[in-house]
Homo-oligomer: A and B are copies of this chain.
Amino acid sequence: MSKRKIINDPVYDGFLSIDDPVILSVVEHPYFQRQRRIKQLGLTYLVYPGAMHTRFSHMLGALNLMGRALDTLRQKGVDITDDECRGAKLAILLHDIGHGPFSHTSERVLVDVPHEDITLMMMQRINAEMAGALDTAIAIFSNTYHKHFLHQLVSSQLDMDRLDYLGRDSFFTGVSEGIVGTDRIISMLNVHNDELVVDEKGIYSVEKFIISRRLMYWQVYMHKTVIAADNLLLNAISRARELDPTAFHLDTAAPDFIDRFAQLDDDDIMVAVKHWQHSDDPTLRTLCSNLVNRHLPAIRISNTPFEGIEDDYLHGTGELHNRSYDFNDQEIKVLYKDGRCVGISEASDQLDRHFLEKQVVKYYAYFPKEENSPSAQ
């Protein structure tokens, strides 16, 4: 009987279990524990108060789904070795470990390398500490492993990352639009010519998944009030940097970069923002006090760009776009009983190319609540 750790997770039946000692060691690693202090959805909790869930819980959830997916594929006769199982699990567990505080928000101002690069650096660092135990995981993550479908389980249009975050974000925000039949989709996964595919009976579930993702984009991920809050935080950090260039300065070329990066989490940013409320600079004071007390900018959305907006710390513009499904990326494939394998855009009666290709672009402008709304073109 192997040692087994049970971790409680309200999203999937209340718990998940881990029994691989290598995976347990990675979960206990400080780089991984740090993700307990980084919220999955950044400032979204200012709109959806339940959305306090962390990257830590998302990574464990994705691990859980990966385990189920691998079990399903093996039951269907797909050849996956024990080493590949562990590799795929470690790859999904660590695939987002390079995210900084407030994830996407701060990434634009805190460091000048993409989070994928930091992820790889951190994986290599852990790998070195663990005598190469992550070799396969790194190959799968980097898409250099010869079985391509393992990478697709980690990163593709139907990967375990997306499956977990849609369900999880829906659960914690309370937005039922994101509920996905996760178990059913996973039970329909298969492999055909080294590609991850979905059995014919899973077409409806995939349709639901694509639509849910699109609805979650507009209702949660690009909620206009969240966009307003994000810009407020970005402007606060930028203004603080302007006043003191060493604020949260991280030199990506420095040898201790990863160590210093790994020290940083959401709490540091929020404590700094609270501190800056007492700055000598009135602009910084205003920005920070507004964020702490949730006095957010007004924001307008339009189908056409705004013009004539001054772009200072209190005003600004931007654009939002979303395409639920990417044809340039690999299509989700459906495997029929008769052996045919076609893209979902062809297999689906509901979601034809017109629907899937549709790209929506919107423009926004934010400004102090007290001012009049600007007008779009």
Contacts and interface: CB of A to CB of B under 8 A. Distances in A.
A263 B294 CA distance: 14
A344 to B, nearest CB: 14
Contact of A30 (B1, B28, B293, B358): B293
Interface string A342-365: 000000011010110010101000
Interface in A28-66: 28, 30, 33, 36-37, 39, 45-50, 52-54, 56-57, 60
Contacts of A268: 271, 274
Of A39, A201, A271, most buried by chain B (CB within 10 Å of CB) is A271
A184 to B, nearest CB: 6
A14 interface: yes
Interface stretch (A119-127, A139-147, A170-178, A305-313): A170-178
Contacts of A355: 354-355
Nearest to A49: B57
B15 A187 contact: yes
Contacts of A251: none
A218 interface: yes
B183 A33 contact: no
Of A60, A75, A174, most buried by chain B (CB within 10 Å of CB) is A174
Of A15, A177, A263, A294, most buried by chain B (CB within 10 Å of CB) is A177
Contacts of A104: none
Nearest to A58: B49
Interface in A194-224: 201, 204-205, 207-208, 211, 214-215, 218-219
A176 B33 contact: no
Interface string A3-38: 000111111011101010000000010100100110
A318 interface: no
A288 to B, nearest CB: 12
A14 B184 contact: yes
A48 B8 contact: yes
A173 B49 contact: no
A10 B218 contact: no
A77 B173 CA distance: 30
A270 interface: yes
B49 A9 contact: yes
A72 to B, nearest CB: 10
A294 B28 contact: yes
Contacts of A362: 349
A249 interface: no
Contact of A14 (B9, B47, B54, B176): B176
A177 B208 contact: yes
Contact of A50 (B6, B10, B205): B10
Contact of A354 (B46, B174, B177, B354): B354
10 contacts: A1-B76, A10-B172, A11-B174, A30-B293, A49-B60, A207-B215, A266-B267, A267-B270, A268-B271, A350-B360
The 7 lowest CB-CB distance pairs between A and B, nearest first, are A10-B174, A52-B52, A14-B174, A267-B267, A49-B57, A10-B50, A13-B183
